[in-house]
Structure 1
Amino acid sequence: MSHIMNTHQRIEFFDTTLRDGTQGEGVSLSVQDKLFIAQRLDEFGMDYIEGGWPSSNPRDEEFFNLAKSIDFKHAQLCAFGSTARFPNKIESDANLNGLLRAETPVITIFGKTWRFHSEKSLGLTDAENEELIFKSVQYLKSHGRKVIFDAEHFFDGYKADADFAKKMILAAERGGADIIALCDTNGGSLPHEVSEIMKDVLSTVSVPVGIHAHNDGELAVANSIAAVRAGATHVQGTMNGLGERCGNANLASIIPNLILKLKREPMQEALHLEKLTALSNFVNEILNLPSNTRSPFVGKSAFAHKGGIHVSAVLKDSLMYEHIDPTVVGNKQRVLVSDLAGQSNIRYKAAELGVDLESNKELAKKLVDHIKKLEYEGYQFEGAEASFELILRAELGEFKPYFSVLDSRVHTEYNKHGHHAAHVMLKIEVGGEIEHTAAEGDGPVNALDNSLRKALTRFYPEIADIQLIDYKVRVLDEKQGTSAKVRVLIETSDGHATWSTVGVSTNIIEASWQALSDSVNYKLFKLHQGNEMTV
């Protein structure tokens, strides 16, 4: 029964984003969403994709029916469910037969391994619970399926009564389970506990053992790594740590840690680690969730540098302040421009834009002073890189605004019936020509946006494809009340690229106008670099 730990043994990754991940608050996936994500997980090189619980809802049943037509190149699709309800009604159990009808090559079933649950929740004796697990696994195996047994609440059950918990997983092994996954269902275990318990289990069973951790103690990733170091060869989790309560173990952190730090080989030789960041972002995009910029490995800020001393060191050798090469996980190094910036930051950002400031240190110093002055006034360029580029290009003499605003008037109206609208009259000059226009919108910013587009379309029809996709307002000095300065950050897209611009003023309309103007100017500059269509 002894299981000898082999540090060279390959690790297999089991993704349950489509099942356990959907239990997270604010997470909802359509059938088509699930199919899209499943295909991307397969392209990445995931070993298993748990698609849902077919017996619990029609949406998951439809997913499994449609997934039958997908030719998965790497992953094995897995259906999830529970053991049967009664030991003497295995063959007629609706849940088990629903799992078989999904026709997946792999089935995961969970069973109670904490006496507290088997007694209180199911009302079973120890012998009945053991029989239930054994017969449920055996029944699925008799139909030719690979079976993964999720030992629910195993770590809590082990700590309460180790003999009971181990007896239940041995029942699953006798039934023919191919893999036994130990679940820290409540997410309250510590890494040293996971390691010690995993080693004891590995000396008890002969089949491969895995880990399924939850993040209630913010230790799901650490617990998963501890389990692997103790000998586990199967790791379950979700992309971006999605899941119920505080989430599941985050595969976007676990996978690179195991492969890059512990040098464990993935089961799939075709696992594309360089696609990890894109996969993480794709899942968030499908879920319509904002990406966590501070996520390790895949976050936008994971390899971002702000302090001048740090940047100076990174430019010499990035290993001084980066634990891995970001390109290995599909991410990239970023240098932020802020009031903490030194000349190294400015030179780095200029180099990214194809501008060599190494030989023009006087201009670099001038730019640093200018940026620091603007940030002191409330501007923030680390989140508005398009505005920064326009400043740089203007200092180099490469950019002049494509239009001038000669006059603008904003009128808002409200009435007792709840009607509200905003009207803007705008007078602009483009290349010596004057254009008067008026437009309305739901609010003053929307009306400004509409009027500017209307005024410029005759001169620059190419702006028709841009749209404002995000608008944020931050009060900078709250103690000043309604006279406080505000910072407006705008994110704009043309369907292919996105860019961010900033404006600051004590007048929210003026701050919004600055950011809107920069946004349109940036688009035009990118389209017409070297063109004489400037005023």
Structure 2
Amino acid sequence: MTTINLFDTTLRDGTQGEGISLTAEDKLKIALKLDALGVHYIEGGNPGSNSKDIEFFRRARELNLSAKLTAFGSTRRKNSVCEQDANLRHLIESGARAATLVGKTWDFHVHTALQTTLEENLAMIGESLAFVKRHGMEAIFDAEHFFDGYKANPEYAVAALLKAKEAGADWIVLCDTNGGTLPNEIGEIVSEVALKVQANIGIHAHNDSELAVANTLAAVAAGAKQVQGTINGYGERCGNANLVSILPNLQLKMGYECVSAEQLAMLTSVARYVGEIANVHLPVNQPYVGNAAFAHKGGIHVSAILKDSKTYEHIAPELVGNKQRVLVSELAGQSNIVSKAQELGLDLGANANSRVVIDRIKELEHQGYQFEGADASLELLLRDASGDTVEMFAVESFKIMCEKSTAGMLSEAIVRIRVEDRLVYTVAEGNGPVNALDNALRKALVQFYPGIADIHLSDYKVRVLDEKDATAAKVRVLIESSNFKDTWSTVGVSSNVIEASWEALVDSIRYALLGMARSELSPDASTDSVGLVNH
């Protein structure tokens, strides 16, 4: 089985994406994850460009990576010598096992960007790669703008590659730097170059035409043995080729060997981890690893996957560490409800009962509710329908008071609830009416359920459902709550934002208390945490 080398440049090219900034510590954490995933090369950055990358390479020496740590730089400056080039010296001093040198292969760039002769550019390529090899480093030549250069002047573009090969380059990587080449062009050109150059060929594609993954796979089919890309496709402009899609496509679809099956099963967790570190939200519909990648909503789809998941899933989600999800909405059929109830260990009884639940959900969604992003509210609805819930408190009333003074805006909430036969009346302040209500409700309940103290609101979203009604419009509120272990979401809808927020807030607390009950906790039990189903 042919092995395809994975070259990850998240820590270098990926950080050139808008809004992405990684500290040296961030880069070290990601490097360890990439190494565990099994990538063969980790390009850490340019050790001559900034102090952050210098620190990264210094500290990375202690990581004992299995992957080859790679330093990035460019060919020597025009009309100079390698020994006096600071950029090349930093590469040698970085401690990296391999060096990637980018050089021009498009005659237009040589004349316009470098403003030098074609002959001098060839000398820059050859001398720089030879310099790196003399210092014991593996040499990778990134042929910048190669496909544009090949289409404009194929003789010169190939001459640049032959000069790199002559200098001892271990890999010659063809770059679609502007991201404008089509897959059929990539396949044809890589095939031609492989015959003319007879070297280890790699591919480095950008996503400006939404084709970086397709172009990468086309290059591999034409003979490339190394693929360069980034986790989640991060990178300059529209991004780089997404290794998270490339890896399973190569291994599961095209039959190449890249990583072990156990490492491939880490793909989803690695993609989400890198997204968290980079502070970039992972698209819900990202192939293979997105939260919706194996989510099923239409009733016909769900009915089929319950018989055999291959009916609507191109692979088993577990192969890449993801999981199947069944969504419940106004498009749901009876199969959706049955599947979701089974997942929760619930028995809805007769078919007529599940039909009642479906009709109820459809009516609520018509009113503006949405349960796809509020699993906890959906679970409460299903448990109520199956008789699996116990009312652990009842709300008698609540009142909100807001006062603007020279000291600022003050919100105060008064909540009256009943727990069994006891009436509890509490007052709490907050930095807004919702926060005040949250504080008052938890203050009332914590004396009965101490684990409530560990719960906090982690996110709060409001969406106006009918903008033409202006300030009288109905709104949907989504609340995300967390404790030390779990996160869950609830929903409320009303033309009054406070009432919608209160509804979502009460559902959040009910869900938490339900977790306590399932953990066989009772009022007055001594505990510091809430046991919840992981959502």
1:42 alignment counterpart: 35
Against the structure 1 CA distance between its residues 532 and 121, is the aligned structure 2 distance closer, same or farther, given a 3 Å change threshold?
closer
Give the aligned residue type for 1:343.
Q
How far apart are the structure 2 equivalents of 1:406 and 1:195? 70
Q: TM-score, normalised by structure 2?
A: 0.95
Q: Which moved more, 1:452-461 or 1:97-106?
A: 452-461
How far apart are the structure 1 equivalents of 2:391 and 2:500? 17
Residue 504 (structure 2) pairs with residue 511 (structure 1): no
1:321 alignment counterpart: 312
Q: How does 1:258-337 map to 2 (within 5 A)?
A: 258-266=250-258, 268-269=259-260, 272-337=263-328
Structure 1: segments with no counterpart, 5+ residues: 1-7
Q: Secondary structure at the match of 2:304?
A: helix
Higher RCO by CA contacts (8 Å cutoff, separation 6 or greater): 1
Q: How does 1:158-177 map to 2 (within 5 A)?
A: 158-177=150-169
Measured after TM superposition, the shift of residue 126 of structure 1 is 0.5
Residue 201 (structure 2) pairs with residue 209 (structure 1): yes
Q: Secondary structure at the match of 2:196?
A: coil
Give the aligned residue type for 1:264.
Y
Q: Secondary structure at the match of 2:369?
A: coil
Identity over the aligned pairs, expressed in percent? 55
Residues 459-479 of structure 1 deviation map (CA, whole Å, 9 limit, x = unaligned) = 111012222111111111222
1:464 alignment counterpart: 453
Report if the CA contact (8 A) 2:424-2:444 is conserved: yes
How far apart are the structure 2 equivalents of 1:455 and 1:273? 48
1:390 alignment counterpart: 380
Counterpart of 1:125 (choices 113, 117, 124) is 117
Residues 151-202 of structure 1 deviation map (CA, whole Å, 9 limit, x = unaligned) = 1111111111111111111111111100011111111111111111111110
Report if the CA contact (8 A) 2:202-2:224 is conserved: yes
1:155 alignment counterpart: 147
Report if the CA contact (8 A) 1:399-1:525 is conserved: yes
What is the number of residues matched between the two proteins?
Answer: 523
1:344 alignment counterpart: 335
How far apart are the structure 1 equivalents of 2:299 and 2:209? 35
Residue 489 (structure 2) pairs with residue 500 (structure 1): yes
Residue 94 (structure 2) pairs with residue 88 (structure 1): no
How far apart are the structure 2 equivalents of 1:207 and 1:414? 74
Give the aligned residue type for 1:471.
Y
Q: Secondary structure at the match of 2:82?
A: coil
Counterpart of 2:92 (choices 96, 100, 104) is 100
How far apart are the structure 1 equivalents of 2:67 and 2:467? 53
Structure 2: segments with no counterpart, 5+ residues: 524-535
Report if the CA contact (8 A) 1:45-1:271 is conserved: no
Residue 350 (structure 2) pairs with residue 381 (structure 1): no
Report if the CA contact (8 A) 1:304-1:335 is conserved: yes
Against the structure 1 CA distance between its residues 276 and 247, is the aligned structure 2 distance closer, same or farther, given a 3 Å change threshold?
same
Measured after TM superposition, the shift of residue 271 of structure 1 is 6.6
Q: TM-score, normalised by structure 1?
A: 0.95
How far apart are the structure 1 equivalents of 2:198 and 2:431? 66
Residues 489-521 of structure 1 deviation map (CA, whole Å, 9 limit, x = unaligned) = 111111211111100101011111111111111
Report if the CA contact (8 A) 1:431-1:533 is conserved: no
RMSD: 1.5
Residues 326-362 of structure 1 deviation map (CA, whole Å, 9 limit, x = unaligned) = 11111111110001111100000011111244x5312
Give the aligned residue type for 1:396.
S
Measured after TM superposition, the shift of residue 376 of structure 1 is 1.2
Residue 58 (structure 2) pairs with residue 65 (structure 1): yes
Residues 399-424 of structure 1 deviation map (CA, whole Å, 9 limit, x = unaligned) = 13322221211122335x69223221
Counterpart of 2:23 (choices 16, 26, 30) is 30
How far apart are the structure 2 equivalents of 1:400 and 1:515? 18
Counterpart of 1:402 (choices 373, 385, 392) is 392
Give the aligned residue type for 1:341.
A
Measured after TM superposition, the shift of residue 30 of structure 1 is 1.0
Give the aligned residue type for 1:389.
E
